[in-house]
Amino acid sequence: MKPLQSLTRPNIWKLKPYSSARDEYKGAAASVFLDANENPYNMPHNRYPDPMQHDLKAELSKIKKVPAENIFLGNGSDEAIDLLFRAFCEPRVDNVVAIDPTYGMYQVCADVNDIEYRKVLLDEHFQFSADQLLAATDEHTKLIFLCSPNNPTGNDLLRSEIEKLVRSFDGLVVVDEAYNDFSEAPSFLEELEKYPNIIVLQTFSKAWGCAAIRLGMAFASPEIIDILNKIKYPYNVNRLTQKQAMEMLSRYYEIERWVKTLKEERGLLEAEFAKLPCTVRLFPSDANFFLVCVTDAVAIYSYLVKKGIIVRNRHSVSLCGNCLRVTVGTRLENEMLLEAMREYRG
Ligand SMILES: *Cc1c(COP(=O)(O)O)cnc(C)c1O
């Protein structure tokens, strides 16, 4: 890996971050807070939240078995993705490389930040080759984006290729593990110490059932985490979110049960989809959704909408012609989808 300084935008490297009242006074013993121009009434919403989310990181650290100093928390993983561009990529100079197809936010953030986005097509098994991704890089490539299990294809990327890429690329490799809870593959969190150039993204939006609270996690070396913390909005994770996340962490067993159920439901749903006359090909999934190639994705999508059932039409995405992406729901929701699909006459 190149020295972190040479991967970081010079203005960010030398940036002196905004120092909030809550940053400057950290002790807990005080009882009179007259430092932040808050309203003394309307407890507890009157107080600014902890800018560094100490309590939440301490709990997460236990569950994820990663020291708190390796954790960044943001307003969804989307905040972390955007901050990575802003920290490391110089507009109109640097570029990033990503697999294609994948999660759309990487390209959107690249476009917003005016960073060249280089796509490398996956193969027919939706896998990538480390050599091909490396061949797309040059001296201005700061980040490579991988997503495993990948969205919208649903499959885990090959671990051997990910490791090969991480070892041979001298920039930063982002591994988005938004769906890792549903996969049998071990998380790359276990490899954080081994690979100083890896950034693992996870989220409360999927397995944790908390898309509404907007809480995303980035795990990386303390040096990388410090840079993200330096440029984030001071109070980027609000108090209600921190509180709800703490409560979810105390109900960890429940999330494990949801995941187990959803994996079973995924199996049932896929088995039934395989029998449908309009199914052309079903792709194996390691996530809480699956991709299915159908006879006419656009027609079936509209047909389902008329029945009040919304799936994701991925027809216009690379390698996903005539594909629908189906999220696994409750038993009842899945049955309603299947019933509608069985009645479809193309
Ligand atoms: C859903 C999803 C996320 C989650 O984003 P949040 O901003 O945390 O809700 C991240 N990455 C991928 C690939 C996703 O599909």
The span from the first CA to the last CA of the chain, in angstroms, equals: 53
Q: Which two tokens stand for residue 26?
A: 């950290």
Identify which of 73, 77, 81, 214 to mutate to test ligand 1's pocket (most ligand atoms within 8 A of the CB): 77
Mean pLDDT confidence for 171-198: 98
pLDDT in tens, 11-66: 999 999 888 888 887 767 888 999 999 999 999 999 999 999 999 999 999 999 99
**What is the model's pLDDT at position 19?**
87
Q: How far, in Å, from the CA of 40 to the mean position of ligand 1?
A: 37
HSE toward the beta carbon, residue 202, CA cutoff 13 A: 18
pLDDT at residue 257 in the model: 97
Q: Is the CB of 76 under 6 A from ligand 1?
A: yes
For residue 200 and ligand 1, the question of a CB distance below 6 A is answered with: no
Q: Is the CB of 94 under 6 A from ligand 1?
A: no
- Sign, CA dihedral 268-270-273-275, equals negative
Cα(142) to ligand 1 centroid in Å equals 21
Ligand 1, atom 5: nearest CA belongs to which residue? Answer: 77
Angle at 126 between CA 168 and CA 154, to 5 degrees: 110
Instruction: List the Cα angle 38/41/42 in 5-degree steps.
Output: 100
pLDDT in tens, 323-341: 999 999 999 999 999 999 9
Residue-wise pLDDT tens digits, 75-127: 999 999 999 999 999 999 999 999 999 999 999 999 999 999 999 999 999 99
68 lines ligand 1 (CB under 6 A): no
Q: In Å, how far are 40, 101, 136, 299, 326 from 144, measured between CA atoms?
A: 47, 14, 10, 36, 27
Tokens linked to 245? 């996340």
Q: How far is the CA of 275 from the centre of ligand 1 (A)?
A: 31
